[in-house]
Structure 1
Amino acid sequence: MNGFAKTPEPPYYAVIFSSQRSEDVAGYGEMAEKMVALASKQTGFLGVESARDEGLGITVSYWDSLESIKKWKENSAHKVAQEKGKSTWYQNYAIRVCKVERQSFFEM
């Protein structure tokens, strides 16, 4: 995941996933990569951006509709990852769903 997601002109939706991981992160990286690959094949997926430091991680995925977000949340493989996150990988997390109404970019 390098650079900014190539999103269309608004409106579209963003799912912001903020997390603090636990000390047990065995298998986390592999699952995260698998989820990005799987999400990118889902109808309505527009892109993803992610950043993490030692304490806080933020991943923003972009979607064309609320229905696409709902279908991703209900994806069976994604549900397995969600449960593993709750039971093992995360101390806590927050999910926020937003409608993007305006965007601008700066490039050199």
Structure 2
Amino acid sequence: MTDEAPGVAATPRPPYTAVIFTSTRTPDENGYAPMAQQMYDRAAKQPGYLGVESAREDIGITVSYWRDEESARNWKQVAEHLVAQRRGRDVWYSDYRVRVATVHRDYGPDESELG
């Protein structure tokens, strides 16, 4: 996987938790791509992980999906992730916002909206 996860994540029927990370990058690329890859790989092994979607242009938006808020909270506290968070704050991001939400509805082009 690269810095930008390909495709649309396959998620189960709601409810589940979405962690939305919106960021603006600094020009410093030193170590960013390998760390991003490590975080994608490590997150995918976490209990409760469901998938990720990511896109970047002027701003980046990464949405990770979790079985529940506890699973997302546990990921936030993983040691390697704490290191990446600190490096992001200190070096890679000029601004960012993290939002945590519960998904109540989820449908695609071949499904009707439920609820």
Partner in structure 2 of residue 47 of structure 1: 51
Task: State the Cα distance separating 1:85 from its structure 2 match.
Answer: 0.3
Quick one: distance in 2 between partners of 1:32 and 1:2? Answer: 14
| Structure 1 stretches of at least 4 aligned residues deviating more than 6 Å after TM superposition | none
Quick one: distance in 2 between partners of 1:2 and 1:88? Answer: 25
Given the two structures, how large is their TM-score scaled by the length of structure 1?
Answer: 0.95
Q: Which runs of 5+ in 1 are unaligned?
A: none
Q: 1:20-39 counterparts in 2 under 5 A?
A: 20-39=24-43
Quick one: distance in 2 between partners of 1:16 and 1:2? Answer: 16
Q: Does 1:103 find its partner at 2:82? A: no
Partner in structure 2 of residue 77 of structure 1: 80
Greater relative contact order (Cα 8 A, min sep 6): structure 1 or 2? Answer: 1
Partner in structure 1 of residue 64 of structure 2: 61
Identity among equivalent pairs (%): 50
The CA RMSD over aligned residues, in Å, is 0.8
